[in-house]
Amino acid sequence: MRAAAAEWGALLRIVAERLRRRRLAAVPLATTATLLVLLFSVVQHLPGGERVVTRLGVVKAALPFDVSLLRTPLSLYVPALDLPVWGALVQVFLVFGIAEIVLGRRLTLVVAYACTLAGTLFARLGVELGPDHLFGFPAWVGHVRDTGPSAAVVALAVCVAIRCRAWWTAGGVGLAMAVEAVLLPNLAGLEHVVALLSAGLIAAAIEVFGDYWPRVLAGVGAASSVAAEARPRAAVPVTR
């Protein structure tokens, strides 16, 4: 219990306090993302719905790059056809909600989309390299449906853990993804590892440079204010 409190105590207090004060208004991004996953899940099981969902948000490595790029934002909310949707709904609401409170709405979106896009680009690169390369895939992988929020969930979990200094959690997520990639060497498992590595790079960049540009902009703003106040004083004629 003491170890769990040290690992997650501060995080749980922050999340609980925010939810107590604002309830669902504290996590509008997580709520919207969860509803989108539910919506796409319902639509793709309706007659003709799968075709609509495919045109809007299904990404495959064999598709033209511009088409994949346009579909990637919505592909995050298109759940797998062969997995229970309730698992995706719970994951998205919990992880996106915690990330929205800890990282902020803008950074949560950046991490989710950047790491999802990294996995998509990895799949395209692997198909282009071919099965003879260490990181290559056979041509049929290019026609595999590459959608779902799992890569974004993994990435956000790692970023939140690093931000909160929950090192055991970050390490546990990384180990779980590595084991998944070894035991189930499919496209999804490898994309999870890519998302994990991308999230680690983003988290490291935030730790190193996160406050740099705000400080620079604050300094520029302060200097501009001083200069603006000094100009009228210099222009006032001296009377005797």
Q: What is the pLDDT of residue 235?
A: 46
Identify whether the C-beta of residue 183 lies closer than 8 Å to the C-beta of residue 95: no
Non-local (6+) Cβ contacts of 129 within 8 A are 135, 136, 137
Q: Which CATH number fits domain 2-215: 3.30.160, 1.10.357, 3.40.50, 1.20.1540?
A: 1.20.1540
| Spatial separation of the C-alpha atoms in residues 194 and 121, rounded to whole Å | 10
DSSP label of 237? P
Identify whether the C-beta of residue 188 lies closer than 8 Å to the C-beta of residue 33: no
| Spatial separation of the C-alpha atoms in residues 233 and 63, rounded to whole Å | 64
The SS3 assignment for 138 reads coil
Q: pLDDT at residue 98 above 90?
A: yes
| Mean pLDDT, residues 107-123 | 92
Q: How confident is the model at residue 53 (pLDDT cuts 50, 70, 90)?
A: very high
The SS3 assignment for 210 reads coil
| Spatial separation of the C-alpha atoms in residues 109 and 28, rounded to whole Å | 12
pTM of this structure: 0.82
Q: How confident is the model at residue 56 (pLDDT cuts 50, 70, 90)?
A: very high
Identify whether the C-beta of residue 177 lies closer than 8 Å to the C-beta of residue 154: yes
Q: How confident is the model at residue 228 (pLDDT cuts 50, 70, 90)?
A: low
Listed range (18-27, 54-63, 159-168) with the worst mean pLDDT: 18-27
Q: How confident is the model at residue 9 (pLDDT cuts 50, 70, 90)?
A: confident
Domain positions in the chain are 2-215
